Amino acid sequence: MWGICYAEAQVSGETILLTAPMSLDGESDVTYRAPNLIRRIVSIFKNVRPGSDLTRFQALQLPPLFNMPKSQLQCYGETVYCVGNDMLSRCSKAESSLERFASVVAWSISTTRPLIFGVAPFNPILGETHHVSKGTLNVLLEQVVNVLLCFIFAGSHHPPVSALHATDEKENIEMIWCQYPVPKFYGTFTIT
């Protein structure tokens, strides 16, 4: 199992300690343990019978054991509202552009997490929202559709676009962010 990763950075003589992200319920993602691997594999194949059409196997839904107990939107939001209290305020209150840049890089590094083998967050559904207010920080995320890409992909809701808007007027912070995967086909495999 992954341990908690620590990193230190020097910013104008001040030490910044980067730790694993927290969650609002008091548990860290580092403490989450995936269910037994054998149990998960058996749960996939329990619906496969002799003579089953395996070309349709990928259309079967994966059991919930393969998902973390949270949505992808919640994971994105936690990168904003589950970091140290002063981590984001340092980004806006630093006096020089170099200090602001170092603070943004430190915040960005602090949001990375080790991957847990075999589990992923639930995919958000179209129109799903996630809103959190923590003190003066307000974070709103939504699963939306890129209208231009929607026409390209013949009216499909793919590719999905996750949008985030976070504000903290007291700390003078505003974040506008979106993420949309761009799948690329390389002949024998696809990368997103």
The string of pLDDT tens digits covering residues 65-101 is 677 788 888 888 888 887 766 778 888 888 899 998 9
The phi, psi pair for 168, rounded to 5°, reads -145, 95
Residue 149 lies in a domain: yes
Range of the domain at 76: 7-24+65-191
pTM of the model: 0.61
Residue 173 lies in a domain: yes
Residue 53 lies in a domain: no
Residue 71 lies in a domain: yes
- pLDDT band, very low/low/confident/very high, at 165 (cuts 50, 70, 90): very high
Give the amino acid at 120. Answer: A
Residue 170 lies in a domain: yes
Give the amino acid at 70. Answer: K
Token digits for 137? Answer: 């920080």
CA atoms within 13 A on the CB side of 102: 16
Distance from C-alpha of 85 to C-alpha of 103, rounded to nearest angstrom? 13
- pLDDT band, very low/low/confident/very high, at 108 (cuts 50, 70, 90): confident
Residue 187 lies in a domain: yes
Domain count across the chain = 1
The string of pLDDT tens digits covering residues 45-70 is 776 666 666 555 554 556 666 777 88
Question: Over 80: is that where the pLDDT of 171 sits?
Answer: yes
Question: Over 50: is that where the pLDDT of 4 sits?
Answer: no
The residue among 86, 110, 77, 105 whose CA lies nearest residue 173 is: 86
The string of pLDDT tens digits covering residues 13-40 is 565 554 455 555 555 555 666 667 677 6
Residue 180 lies in a domain: yes
Question: Over 70: is that where the pLDDT of 104 sits?
Answer: yes
The string of pLDDT tens digits covering residues 116-134 is 766 778 888 888 899 988 8
Q: Quick one: DSSP state of residue 90?
A: H
Secondary structure class of 105 (helix, strand, coil):
helix
Residue 41 lies in a domain: no
